[in-house]
Amino acid sequence: MTPSAVRADAWTWAVRLYKTRTLATAACKAGHVRVNGDKAKPATPVHVGDRLVVRGGDRERTVEVTVLLAKRVGAEPAARAYIDHTPVAPPAKFVAPPAVRDPGTGRPTKKERRQLDRLRGRS
């Protein structure tokens, strides 16, 4: 018998969006998982057709639930359990490299910090 809803932390772990169930639960508690635009607690029910926004590492993925899974499955069945609507990441050549200071130059001055913020597009 297939369930009508599954916990958000269990589903994100089962479809391999998080490596462990503990990480999935912690992500839900921290507000890194949204179900249909609302922050999800670990026990938030997930239904077929729901849209989840999952933040993990440096990526944010948008997925639509097509199959409810409560137990972890292999990579191929997990990939078939959702439709990935994540926008394509920009090519690496368009991403600004991290600012690296020469060793021994100390902390940046206030003027240098402002320049770095302008370079990174933060102000």
Q: Which of 21, 28, 37 is nearest to 55 (CA)?
A: 28
Residue 110 belongs to what H/E stretch? helix 110-120
Q: What is the C-alpha to C-alpha distance for residues 41 and 31, in angstroms, rounded to an integer?
A: 8
Say which CATH superfamily domain 6-90 falls into: RNA-binding S4 domain (3.10.290.10)
- Cβ atoms < 10 Å from Cβ of 32: 19
Please indicate, yes or no, whether the overall pTM of this predicted structure exceeds 0.75.
no
**pLDDT attached to residue 119:** 83
**pLDDT attached to residue 104:** 83
Mean pLDDT by 10 residues, the chain (123 residues): 85 94 95 94 95 88 94 93 88 71 86 87 73
DSSP3 helix / strand / coil % (the chain, rounded to 5): 30, 20, 50
**pLDDT attached to residue 23:** 95
Q: Which residues are paired to 116 by β-bridges?
A: none
The DSSP symbol for 98 reads P
Residue with tokens 């597009």: 121
**pLDDT attached to residue 118:** 86
Q: What is the C-alpha to C-alpha distance for residues 55 and 33, in angstroms, rounded to an integer?
A: 6
